[in-house]
């Protein structure tokens, strides 16, 4: 790391080593870095405490990298909140410098910065994404709360690259209602896959 990178700080709500529970990389060991600050505000969000940007400790990149190194994993996932509110160039450079793959989970409401090996694009109705994010997505993950979300998903699927993987994920508190909707849809639209929040079934972070 450069001296400049060492001095840079980010508002970090939490960091933890766990198993990726969603999307293509489900089941893999991963180190999560949850940054504070969100400009979306989903009413069903399960980490609303991440929304404020000024209530979380500001940690240096050196501190973040030290914790990430201890995890002895190959993947670092930057999430939020909404991580694109921050300039992530130096953070991703530092993560890569210790051999970690860089993954991000974002609603795409701001221009994406940083060097990413995997981009999970999860657009929300509450605030439209930046025009540039769709072409960078490795996977499109749309949360299904009700039937109308399927049309929202189809609209965004037309904006991503043809190699982008397509996922529908039931909103956790409405999964009994949303899952039959998703299953019926995917039977007719096999280009889509189901993503489950398996970490919640496993009762891990």
One digit per residue, the tens of pLDDT, for the chain of length 205 reads: 665 566 799 999 999 999 999 999 999 999 999 999 999 999 999 999 999 999 999 999 999 999 999 999 999 999 999 999 999 999 999 999 999 999 999 999 999 999 999 999 999 999 999 989 999 999 999 999 999 999 999 999 999 999 999 999 999 999 999 999 999 999 999 999 999 999 999 999 9
User: Dihedrals φ, ψ of 178, to 5°?
Assistant: -75, -30
91-106, pLDDT tens digit by residue? 999 999 999 999 999 9
pLDDT value of residue 134: 96
Question: CATH homologous superfamily of domain 3-202?
Answer: Aldolase class I (3.20.20.70)
CA–CA distance, 81 with 73 (Å, rounded to integer)? 23
pLDDT of residue 1: 64
Closest CA to 102 of 91, 94, 112, 92: 92
Taking CB atoms within 8 Å and a gap of at least 24, the contacts of 155-158 are 156/121, 156/123, 157/191, 157/192
The confidence score (pLDDT) of residue 4 equals 59
Q: For the chain, which residues make up each domain, given as ranges?
A: 3-202
pLDDT digits (tens, 9 = 90+) for 166-184: 999 999 999 999 999 999 9
Instruction: Give pLDDT, residue 194.
Output: 98
DSSP strand pairing (75-79 vs 118-121): unpaired
Instruction: Say what the pLDDT of residue 3 is.
Output: 55
């Amino acid at each position: 790391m450069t001296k400049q990178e060492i001095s840079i700080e980010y508002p970090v709500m939490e960091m933890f080593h766990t198993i990726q529970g969603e999307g293509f990389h489900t089941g893999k060991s991963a180190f999560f870095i949850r940054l504070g600050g969100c400009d979306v505000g989903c009413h069903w969000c399960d980490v609303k405490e991440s929304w404020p940007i000024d209530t979380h400790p500001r940690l240096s990149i050196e501190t973040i990298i030290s914790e990430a190194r201890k995890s002895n994993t190959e993947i670092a996932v930057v999430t939020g909140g909404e991580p694109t509110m921050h300039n992530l160039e130096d953070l991703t450079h530092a993560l890569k410098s210790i051999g970690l793959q860089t993954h991000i989970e974002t609603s795409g409401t701001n221009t994406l910065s940083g060097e990413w090996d995997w981009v999970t694009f999860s657009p929300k109705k509450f605030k439209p994404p930046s025009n540039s994010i769709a072409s960078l997505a490795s996977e499109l993950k749309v949360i299904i709360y009700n039937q109308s979300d399927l049309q929202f998903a189809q609209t965004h699927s037309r904006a991503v690259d043809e190699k982008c993987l397509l996922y529908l994920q039931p909103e956790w508190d409405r999964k009994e209602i949303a899952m039959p909707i998703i299953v019926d849809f995917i039977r007719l639209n096999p280009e889509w896959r189901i993503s489950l929040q398996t970490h919640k079934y496993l009762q891990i972070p």
